[in-house]
Amino acid sequence: MPTSYPKCNPTEMFGLLVLLDSHSGSEDVALLARDLDLEIDEIFPALEYSEVLGLVQVADGRATFTEMGRTFVAASIRERKALLREQLKRTTLFRTLLRALESHPDHRLTDDELVQIFSFTTARADDAVQNIVNWGRYADLFRYDSEDHSLVLTRRPSSPKGGGGRSSPPTPQPSGPAGATGKKPPASTLPETGSRGAASATG
């Protein structure tokens, strides 16, 4: 996939996709621009990135949902984030950023390092950073530390949620006879199986 820099933010692209969905998933680009009260060239950034992410196809001046695009607009917010996360990781730009973040000892990139990565784009570095951070935050890939002026890889806990420490080993059962009541020691209870609801993703 060719390197593409997102010239729109997620909200702008979502607005276009919602409008396209209201036109049964296929419409002339000029009519979409008119419905948004925009010039046709003003919707090109959102349309272009929708196409880069495999959500829309544009041919002969007409935009049409792909199967993935239809799945996206019908999905929950959480499902949309997951889908976009996978699609962004397939683009050259985000794949390059993630590899750089993963290989860095602190899993972060300074502004200067970002500018070097963005040198292959024609976009202004500050515009590039802002849009890329918007997409990375929405898809929960990374965040921007405004105090350190650096891009930081989002950490996902791989261990189960809970108290943080190791669970205590089971208490050994006495090997001698049962107590005065003559009853056997109770069987160890099963661990709690009630799962907590997954935390809502933030964008």
Assigned domain for 189 exists: no
Residues 20, 68 within the same domain: yes
pLDDT value at position 110?
Answer: 87
Tokens standing for 20? 């396209």
Mean pLDDT, the chain, as a whole number? 78
Residues 29, 68 within the same domain: yes
pLDDT value at position 179?
Answer: 42
Tokens standing for 74? 């019908």
Beta sheet of 142-145, edge-to-edge order: 108-110, 150-153, 142-145
| Pairwise CA distance, residues 144 & 134, whole Å | 9
Assigned domain for 62 exists: yes
Residues 81, 149 within the same domain: yes
pLDDT value at position 87?
Answer: 95
Residues 67, 95 within the same domain: no
Residues 93, 124 within the same domain: yes
pLDDT value at position 51?
Answer: 96
More confident residue, 200 or 19: 19
Q: Is the pLDDT of residue 158 over 70?
A: no
Assigned domain for 142 exists: yes
| Pairwise CA distance, residues 153 & 197, whole Å | 24
Residues 17, 61 within the same domain: yes
Assigned domain for 166 exists: no
Q: Three-state DSSP class for 150?
A: strand
Short-list 112, 140, 108, CA closest to 126: 112
Assigned domain for 161 exists: no
Assigned domain for 66 exists: yes
Short-list 144, 130, 146, CA closest to 5: 130
Residues 44, 102 within the same domain: no
Residues 68, 82 within the same domain: no
Please report, in angstroms and rounded to a whole number, the separation of the first and last CA atoms in the chain: 26
CATH code, 148? 1.10.10
User: What would the pLDDT profile of 135-157 be if each residue is shown by its tens digit?
Assistant: 999 999 998 888 888 889 986 43
| Pairwise CA distance, residues 169 & 98, whole Å | 39
pTM, two decimals, is 0.69
Assigned domain for 187 exists: no
Residue 93's CB: how many other CB atoms inside 10 A?
22
Q: Which residues contact 190 (CB under 8 A, 6 or more apart)?
A: none
Domain count, the chain: 2
Residues 127, 144 within the same domain: yes
Q: How many residues does the chain have?
A: 203
| Domain containing residue 88 | 77-153
pLDDT value at position 123?
Answer: 57
Residues 96, 29 within the same domain: no
pLDDT value at position 40?
Answer: 92
pLDDT > 70 fraction of the chain, expressed in percent and rounded:
69
Assigned domain for 158 exists: no
